[in-house]
């Protein structure tokens, strides 16, 4: 067995120190959503400068955020090219010092509430978590699939109207062609998640909008 000389030992020690420092810098990401309060490390005092420090410059980009009905607003996107980590931030101010809301849109996401509500969560799963049927708008219009309230359930943050839009949950179904059951729950009407047609369609969450309170 060949003995390592002093210079080689120093090199090995330095490499080990560099490796250890690198691992220490890779802090685990907080993916937790607290409706109305924060999305991971993003809270009322998180500026765009802070975002770059939290996620790195490469993860931050500026883009227009779709508000629906053909309207957009300037915003900041985190992880633009990673669908499961992507979030969009709308600001209260042009200096981008205080976030107004964080939006998630898509089929799946790492971001989730403690209860497990996230993109891709099914209507039946949310109903089980809620412990009671909730109410949502019909499909096939700009705000289709939006949850109106939690009914008598425990997920009170589902009530976007009652709780000043601290949290907006929207469901959608990609049925093509639409089934007869789907056609029963379309239009600007409110339906129970317990409606037989809703249960048959069992749509999934495709959008979460989290308002960030300053109080």
Cis peptide before 177 (omega within 30 of 0): yes
Chain centroid to CA 30: 12
DSSP assigned state of 27: P
Dump pLDDT digits (tens) for 86-133.
999 999 999 999 999 999 999 999 999 999 999 999 999 999 999 999
Q: Which of 122, 143, 140 is nearest to 177 (CA)?
A: 140
Q: Report pLDDT digits (tens) over 186-207.
A: 999 999 999 999 999 999 999 9
More confidently predicted of 89 and 167: 89
Confidence check: pLDDT of 1 > 50:
no
Taking a C-beta distance cutoff of 8 angstroms, is the pair 111, 51 a contact?
no
pLDDT, position 215: 58
For the stretch 16-66, pLDDT in tens is 554 444 433 445 779 999 988 899 999 999 999 999 999 999 999 999 998
Q: Which residues of the chain form beta strands (DSSP E)?
A: 32-34, 38-39, 60-68, 71-78, 87-91, 99-105, 112-113, 135-137, 147-149, 167-172, 190-192, 204-211
């Amino acid at each position: 067995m060949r003995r390592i000389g002093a210079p080689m030992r120093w090199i090995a020690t330095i490499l080990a120190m560099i490796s250890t420092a690198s691992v220490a810098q890779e802090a685990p990401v907080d993916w937790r959503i607290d409706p109305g309060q924060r999305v991971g490390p993003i809270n009322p005092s998180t500026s765009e400068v802070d975002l770059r420090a939290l996620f790195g410059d490469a993860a931050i980009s500026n883009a227009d955020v779709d508000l629906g009905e053909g309207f957009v607003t300037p915003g900041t996107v985190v992880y633009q090219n990673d669908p499961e980590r992507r979030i969009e931030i709308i600001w209260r101010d042009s200096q981008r010092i205080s976030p107004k809301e964080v939006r998630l849109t898509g089929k799946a996401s790492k971001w989730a509430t403690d209860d497990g509500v996230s993109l891709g969560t099914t209507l039946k799963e949310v109903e089980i978590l809620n412990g009671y049927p909730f109410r949502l708008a019909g499909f096939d219009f700009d705000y289709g699939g939006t949850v109106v309230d939690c009914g008598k359930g425990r997920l009170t943050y589902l009530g976007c109207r009652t709780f000043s839009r601290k949290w907006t949950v929207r469901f959608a179904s990609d049925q093509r062609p639409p089934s007869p059951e789907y056609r029963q729950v379309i239009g600007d009407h409110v339906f129970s998640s317990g409606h037989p047609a809703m249960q048959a369609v069992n749509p999934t969450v495709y959008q979460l909008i989290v308002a960030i309170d300053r109080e």
